[in-house]
């Protein structure tokens, strides 16, 4: 399964919607980095917790041994992004990294495992370490493992 069935409802954030469109139109060959710093991104297709709609969520690429970490940072804002509810409700999703699209299942991390992956995320993209102190919200982390 490398497609989720259902109606795609794009992000309400223009820059995200546009990045998703350019990434998909080029099969991951373009729009595959964060504009402002050139760090690689991945694209996750997930299902809306309330609407059941197909949602597409670009995130920074934090990968190790074929597993990916989703960091719900949203720039250090005080509210979880909606996709946290989606991942909790529907953990089966599709992740595209460059031209490779595969099925993954997401598992929310806690305790020592969460800390270990958080350290790895900050090493991979140090901006996460700048975002976390901006809020008392602890960023939910999800580990995506291939199905
Ligand atoms: C903008 C909003 O999206 P969101 O799910 O809150 O996620 C906000 C952001 O995290 C999301 O836009 C990310 O892609 C932003 N983002 C990153 N966001 C991060 O949190 N971490 C990252 O590392 C990250 C990197 C990144 C790189 C490139 C890029 O273009 C964007 C990047 C949105 O689309 N809202 C919609 C739909 C929300 C939704 O999924 N609703 C669910 C219900 C959810 C619920 O039950 O609460 C449904 O359809 O049923 C709406 O309000 O109508």
Q: Which is the closest atom of ligand 1 to the Cα of 19?
A: 30
Residue nearest to atom 16 of ligand 1 (CA): 59
Tens digits of residue pLDDT in 11-23:
999 999 999 999 9
Identify the burial level of 121 via C-beta atoms within 10 angstroms of its C-beta, where 0-12 means exposed, 13-18 middle and 19 or more buried.
Answer: buried
Please tell me the pTM assigned to this model. 0.97
- Cα of 106 vs centre of ligand 1, distance in Å, is 16
Ligand 1 pocket member 103 (CB < 6 A)? no
The β-bridge partners of 43 are: 58, 96
Residues 117 and 115: their CA atoms lie apart, in Å, by: 5
Ligand 1 pocket member 12 (CB < 6 A)? yes
CB 41 within 8 A of CB 60: yes
Alpha-helical regions (H) of 99-144: 111-124, 127-131
Tens digits of residue pLDDT in 20-55:
999 999 999 999 999 999 999 999 999 999 999 999
Ligand 1 pocket member 48 (CB < 6 A)? yes
CA distances from 28 to 2, 23, 40, 43 (A): 15, 5, 11, 9
Query: Quick one: what percent of the chain has pLDDT higher than 70?
Result: 99
- Cα of 81 vs centre of ligand 1, distance in Å, is 5
Asked whether this complex has an ipTM greater than 0.90, the answer is yes
- Cα of 83 vs centre of ligand 1, distance in Å, is 5
């Amino acid at each position: 399964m490398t497609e989720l069935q259902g109606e795609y409802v794009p992000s309400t954030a223009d820059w995200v919607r546009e990045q998703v469109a350019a990434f998909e139109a080029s099969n991951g060959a373009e729009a595959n980095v964060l504009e402002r710093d050139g760090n690689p991104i991945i694209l996750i297709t997930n299902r809306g917790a309330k609407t059941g709609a197909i949602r597409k969520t670009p995130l920074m690429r934090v990968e190790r041994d074929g597993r990916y970490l989703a960091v719900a940072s949203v720039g250090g804002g005080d509210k979880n992004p909606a996709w946290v509810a989606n991942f909790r409700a529907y953990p089966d999703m599709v992740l595209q990294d460059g031209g490779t699209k595969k099925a993954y299942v997401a598992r929310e991390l806690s305790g020592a495992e969460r800390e270990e992956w958080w350290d790895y995320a900050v090493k991979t993209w140090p901006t996460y370490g700048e975002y976390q102190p901006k809020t008392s919200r602890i960023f939910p982390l999800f580990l995506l493992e291939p199905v």
